[in-house]
Chains A and B, each alone.
Chain A
Amino acid sequence: MPLTTDSFAMGEMLAVLLSRDMADGEKAIVGTNSDIQVAACNLARQRQAPHLWWVSGPGGMTNPTEGIIRPAADAENIAVAEAVMDLPQMIDFIDWQVHFFDFAILGALQTDRFGNINTVCVGDHAKPRLRGPGTVGISALCGLSRRFYIMMTRHDRGAFVPKVDFVCGAGFLDGGTSRTDFGLPEGGPRLVVTPLGVFDFEPVTKAMRIRSLHEGVTLDEVRDNTGFDLVVPPNIERTANPADEELFLLRRTVDTTGVLARKFPWPKAN
Chain B
Amino acid sequence: MPASSRSASKKLVDLDTALSVVKDGMTLGIGGWIFHGQPMALVRGLIRKGVRDLTLVPSPGSVAPDMLIGAGCVKTTACVFISFEHLGLAPNFRRAAQSGAVKVLEMDGPGIAGGLRAGACDLPYGLIPDLGTDLPKVNPEGYCKARVQEGGRPLLEVPAIKPDVVFLHGQQADEDGNVQYFGAGYFDLLMAQAARHVICSVDRIVPSSTVRQSARLTKIPSAFVDAIVVAPFGAHPGGSPGLYAQDEQHLKAYVAASRDQVAFNAYLTQHAHGGEDAYRDRIGAKALAGLTAGGTA
Which chain B residues lie closer than 8 Å to A52 at the CB level? none
The distance from the CB of B291 to the nearest CB of chain A, in whole angstroms, is 14
Whether the pair A183, B154 counts as a contact (CB closer than 8 A) is yes
- Chain B residues near A234: list those with CB within 8 A: none
Distance (Å) between the CB of A55 and the closest chain B CB?
11
> Is A32 within 8 A of B186, CB to CB?
no
B89 within 8 A of A: yes
User: Which residues in A have their C-beta under 8 angstroms from that of B231?
Assistant: none
For window 193-228 of chain A, which residues contact chain B by CB distance below 8 Å? none
Selected from B93, B108, B186, the residue in CB contact (under 8 A) with A131 is B93
**What 1/0 mask marks residues of chain A from 107 to 122 whose CB sits below 8 Å from any chain B CB?**
0000000000000110
13 contacts between A and B (CB under 8 A): A69-B297, A73-B186, A95-B110, A95-B113, A96-B110, A133-B82, A134-B81, A143-B132, A168-B133, A182-B132, A183-B153, A184-B132, A185-B153
A137: Cβ under 8 A from any B Cβ = yes
Query: Interface 1/0s, chain B 86-97, versus A by CB < 8 A?
Result: 100110011001
Which of A70, A71, A86, A170 is in CB contact (< 8 Å) with B132?
Answer: A170
Q: Give Cα distance in the complex from A137 to B98, angstroms.
A: 23
User: Cα distance A32–B129 when bound, in Å?
Assistant: 23
A173-B132 contact given A73-B33, A140-B109, A257-B297, CB 8 Å threshold: yes
Q: Are B138 and A59 closer than 8 Å at their CB atoms?
A: no
Q: Are B97 and A94 in contact (CB under 8 A)?
A: no
Chain A residue nearest to B139 (CB atoms) is A125
Given contacts A33-B34, A73-B34, contact A133 B242 (CB under 8 A): no
Contact A135 B81 (CB under 8 A): yes
Q: Which of B92-114 contact A (CB under 8 A)?
A: 93-94, 97-100, 104, 106-110, 113-114
- CA gap between A134 and B241 in the complex, in Å: 24
B185 and A168 contact, CB distance less than 8 A: no
Is the Cβ of B108 less than 8 Å from the Cβ of A140?
A: yes
* A75 engages B184 (CB within 8 Å): yes
Measured between beta carbons, the chain B residues less than 8 angstroms from A133 are 81-83, 89-90
Q: Whose C-beta in chain A lies nearest to the C-beta of B294?
A: A76
- Nearest Cβ on chain B to A170's Cβ, whole angstroms: 4
Number of interface residues of A (CB under 8 A): 59
Chain B residues within an 8 Å CB radius of A86: 184-185, 189, 219
Q: Is A138's CB under 8 angstroms from B108's CB?
A: yes
Closest to B60 in A: A136
3 tightest A-B CB contacts, nearest first: A75-B183, A143-B131, A170-B132
Chain B: interface secondary structure? mixed
Contact residues in B for A131 (Cβ distance below 8 Å): 89, 93-94, 97-98, 104
Do the beta carbons of A78 and B183 come within 8 Å of each other?
yes
With CB as the reference atom, state the residue of chain B lying closest to A56: B184
- B86 CB, min distance to chain A CBs, angstroms: 7
Partner of A120, one of B60, B85, B106, B183: B106
Task: Scan residues 51-68 of chain A and give those whose CB is less than 8 A from a CB of chain B.
Answer: 56, 58-61, 68
A167 within 8 A of B: yes
- Known contacts A32-B60, A128-B98; is-contact A179 B241 (Cβ 8 Å): no
Nearest-CB residue, chain A, relative to B240: A75
A139 at the B interface (CB under 8 A)? yes
A82 contacts partner chain B, Cβ-Cβ < 8 Å = no
- Chain B's nearest CB lies how many Å from the CB of A50? 24
In the complex, besides A75-B183, A75-B184, A130-B94, 15 extra interface pairs with C-beta distance below 8 angstroms are A58-B60, A73-B33, A73-B183, A75-B242, A86-B189, A86-B219, A96-B129, A133-B82, A135-B81, A135-B108, A139-B110, A139-B135, A143-B131, A168-B108, A168-B134
In chain A, residues 144-196, which have Cβ atoms closer than 8 Å to a Cβ of chain B?
144, 166-170, 173, 179, 182-185
Q: A133 to B88, alpha carbons, bound, how many Å? A: 9
**How many angstroms between the C-alpha atoms of A179 and B154 in the bound complex?**
12
Task: Tell me if A136 and B108 are in contact (CB < 8 A).
Answer: yes
- Bound-state CA distance A56–B93 (Å) is 26
Q: How many Å lie between the Cα of A254 and that of B79 in the bound state? A: 34
- The residues of A that contact B80 with a CB separation of less than 8 Å are 134-136
Determine the distance from Cα of A96 to Cα of B242 in the docked complex, in whole angstroms: 31
Q: How far is the CA of A3 from the CA of B94 in the complex (A)?
A: 34
In contact, A166 and B134 (Cβ under 8 angstroms): yes
Which residues of chain B have C-beta atoms less than 8 A from A267's C-beta?
none
Q: Does A126 reach chain B (CB closer than 8 Å)?
A: yes
CB within 8 A of B113: which of A33, A91, A125?
Answer: A91
Indicate whether B182 reaches chain A with its CB closer than 8 angstroms: yes
The answer to whether B135 and A263 touch across the interface, beta carbons within 8 angstroms, is no
CB distance from B24 to the nearest CB of A (A): 25
Q: Which single residue of chain A is at the shortest CB-CB distance from B116? A: A88
Q: CA A183 – CA B110 in complex, angstroms?
A: 17
Closest approach, in angstroms, between the C-beta of A265 and any C-beta of chain B?
Answer: 14
Residues of A within 8 A of B184 (CB): 56, 58-61, 73, 75, 78, 84, 86-87
Interface assignment of B209: CB less than 8 Å from any CB of chain A? no
**A136, B114: Cα distance in complex, Å:** 13
